């Protein structure tokens, strides 16, 4: 299938996300190659902890301590920057661009502060600087705004884009505890760093909403103009009062276009602060360390994008999506860089679509019965005979006609088993109407 050699990638920094990226690329090599049309291989890794890096990559990649070696290596096509911070990372990214390499980065701090210069240099050199992993982890929100909503005049973007603070706020509400206690729990569980300032004071969310505002409204990156308030001064009684009024408090990054016809000054509002959100909104129901971004466009209306905003593999998912974008862009025929069906036409699989008899699902059963002793025992007996166990049961006098309904929730079983159990139940003389079966999915 492969007409081209692998895309050769140099990885700068193999901490949590770097390791996740390396491991997901290795685990899903076949799947990713079928999509990208060629394989993607991390051939070089730079990390100050050379020993640890060697333990992770084995003989799959050459390891060195000096990242500068990699950004100037003529055998490297793409550089992944996962060092973080504003200074060293920026210098390495600019050097990689100057050497004609494409760059993939998860570094929102660097882009919020130096992005205008970095993107200008990249455009001059004709290389891509991809940064899906910089905002909302694995959620493809940059692609959604930049490409998926390209038809729209975007009016507003509001997001839960920092998992640490959302976890702390969820704990404060659920457990009725104060900020300090909730933060300590988040730290104990690994959701907050030892020095949590960047997260809890809103700086991280501000980096991200600044980038999203540029994508949404077509303005240069202006992090210094973002209004930033964190959650550290939030008192539990306000969380409680908000709840009594039908609201939840979330740390939102909000970017809003203000048009002249609204009466006030025209421009863009850019802010991060604790915000009361009505509890009926989906955004208010995003709990724990999850992220979600709400985007309103004039044509599309309201859209929401939800998922894990941090963590090794969700972030790796975004890093690798960017690598696949680069691989597709620099390879194969120009008009089919993204294959119609996601996978290259010659890489479609012949995995069978299973007949419904082999599908597996839990079930809701409603059985209308004559109210005689032993009916439930016989029904559950038929289910047991088919190897189906029961999750919950409810016996009700039907409100419609006063007959008795037996409602059962079963555990997951193969379709053919539940069908034969239903046939047996249906044949019971004490079963009055047709047995109703509706499938059930826990989605967990």
Query: Per rule CB under 8 A, is residue 276 in the interface with a second copy?
Result: yes
Which helix (H) or strand (E) element contains residue 406? strand 404-410
72, 152, 187, 430: residue in contact with a second copy (rule CB under 8 A): 152
Question: How many residues in the shown chain lie near a second copy by CB under 8 A?
Answer: 154
Query: Per rule CB under 8 A, is residue 442 in the interface with a second copy?
Result: yes
Query: Per rule CB under 8 A, is residue 411 in the interface with a second copy?
Result: no
User: Rule CB under 8 A: which of 32-71 touch a second copy?
Assistant: 32, 34-36
User: Rule CB under 8 A: which of 3-32 touch a second copy?
Assistant: 20, 24-25, 27-28, 31-32
Q: First vs last Cα of the chain: how many Å apart?
A: 36
Contact partners, residue 106, CB within 8 Å, separation at least 6: 17, 81, 82, 131, 133, 134, 315, 318, 319
Query: Per rule CB under 8 A, is residue 275 in the interface with a second copy?
Result: yes
13, 18, 163, 307: residue in contact with a second copy (rule CB under 8 A): 307
- Whether 282 contacts 253, CB under 8 Å: no
CA distances from 123 to 98, 216, 239, 332 (A): 11, 19, 46, 22
Query: Per rule CB under 8 A, is residue 266 in the interface with a second copy?
Result: yes
* Between 65 and 120, CB nearer to a second copy: 120
Classify residue 98 by burial, with Cβ atoms within 10 Å: 0-12, 13-18, 19+.
middle
Q: Which of the 8 DSSP states describes residue 13? A: -
Characterize the bridge pairing of strands 267-278 and 227-228: parallel
Q: How many CB atoms lie within 10 A of CB 414?
A: 15
CB of 13 to a second copy, least distance (A): 18
Smallest CA-to-CA distance from 166 within 54, 268, 261, 251 is with 251
Query: Per rule CB under 8 A, is residue 417 in the interface with a second copy?
Result: no
Tokens of 406: 């037996």
User: Rule CB under 8 A: which of 107-146 touch a second copy?
Assistant: 115, 119-120, 122-123, 126-129, 132, 138-140, 143-146
Query: Per rule CB under 8 A, is residue 268 in the interface with a second copy?
Result: yes
Smallest CA-to-CA distance from 201 within 239, 251, 237 is with 251
User: Rule CB under 8 A: which of 387-406 touch a second copy?
Assistant: 392, 394, 396, 398-400, 405
Smallest CA-to-CA distance from 115 within 136, 137, 154, 89 is with 89
Contact partners, residue 342, CB within 8 Å, separation at least 6: 35
46, 199, 305, 422: residue in contact with a second copy (rule CB under 8 A): 305
User: Rule CB under 8 A: which of 315-344 touch a second copy?
Assistant: 316-321, 323-325, 329-330, 333-343
* Between 59 and 220, CB nearer to a second copy: 220
* Between 39 and 275, CB nearer to a second copy: 275
Query: Per rule CB under 8 A, is residue 86 in the interface with a second copy?
Result: no
Which residue among 90, 101, 143, 208 is the active-site one?
A: 208
CB of 394 to a second copy, least distance (A): 6
- Whether 13 contacts 46, CB under 8 Å: yes
Segment near a second copy (CB under 8 A); pick from 9-17, 82-90, 197-205, 260-268? 260-268
Clarify whether 208 is annotated catalytic.
yes
359, 370, 384, 397: residue in contact with a second copy (rule CB under 8 A): 359
| 16/48 Cα distance (integer angstroms) | 14
Tokens of 13: 């920094």
CB of 195 to a second copy, least distance (A): 25
Phi first, then psi, for residue 290 (nearest 5°) are -70, 155
Query: Per rule CB under 8 A, is residue 226 in the interface with a second copy?
Result: yes
Tell me which residues are annotated as active site: 208
């Amino acid at each position: 299938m492969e007409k081209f050699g692998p895309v050769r990638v140099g990885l700068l920094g193999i901490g949590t996300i770097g390791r996740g990226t390396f491991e997901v690329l290795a685990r899903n090599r076949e799947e990713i190659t079928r999509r990208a049309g060629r394989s993607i291989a991390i051939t070089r890794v730079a990390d100050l902890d050379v020993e640890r890096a060697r333990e992770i990559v084995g003989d799959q990649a050459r390891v060195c301590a000096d990242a500068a070696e990699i950004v100037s290596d003529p055998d490297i096509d793409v550089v992944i920057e996962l060092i973080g911070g504003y200074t060293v990372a920026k210098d390495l990214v600019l050097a990689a661009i100057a050497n004609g390499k494409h760059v993939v980065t998860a570094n929102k701090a660097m882009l919020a502060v130096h992005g205008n210069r970095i993107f200008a240099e990249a455009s001059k050199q004709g290389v891509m600087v991809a940064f899906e992993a910089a905002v909302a982890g694995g959620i493809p929100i940059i692609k959604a705004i930049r490409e998926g909503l390209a038809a729209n005049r975007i009016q507003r973007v509001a997001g839960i884009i920092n998992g640490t603070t959302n976890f702390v706020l969820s704990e404060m509400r659920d457990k009725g505890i104060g900020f300090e206690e909730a933060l300590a729990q988040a730290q104990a569980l690994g959701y907050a760093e030892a020095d949590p300032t960047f997260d809890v004071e809103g700086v991280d969310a501000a980096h991200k909403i600044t980038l999203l505002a540029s994508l949404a409204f077509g303005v240069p990156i202006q992090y210094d103009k973002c209004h930033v308030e964190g959650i550290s001064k939030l008192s539990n009684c306000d969380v409680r009062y908000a709840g009594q009024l039908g609201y939840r408090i979330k740390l939102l990054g909000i970017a809003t276009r203000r048009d002249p016809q609204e009466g006030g000054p025209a421009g863009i509002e850019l802010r991060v602060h604790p915000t009361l959100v009505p509890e009926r909104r989906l955004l208010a129901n995003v709990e724990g360390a999850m992220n979600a971004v709400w985007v309103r466009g004039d044509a599309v209306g309201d859209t929401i994008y939800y998922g894990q905003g941090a963590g090794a593999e969700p972030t790796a998912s975004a890093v690798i999506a960017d690598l696949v974008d680069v691989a597709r862009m620099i390879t194969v025929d120009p008009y089919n860089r993204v294959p119609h069906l996601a996978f290259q036409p010659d890489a479609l699989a012949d995995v069978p679509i299973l007949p419904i008899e082999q599908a597996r699902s839990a079930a809701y059963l409603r059985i209308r019965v004559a109210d005689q002793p032993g009916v439930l025992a016989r029904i559950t007996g038929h289910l047991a005979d088919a190897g189906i166990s029961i999750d919950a049961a409810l016996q009700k006098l039907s409100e419609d006609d006063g007959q008795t309904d037996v409602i059962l929730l079963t555990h997951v079983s193969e379709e053919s088993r539940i069908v034969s159990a239903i046939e047996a139940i249906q044949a019971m003389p004490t079963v009055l109407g047709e047995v109703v079966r509706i499938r059930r999915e826990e989605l967990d």
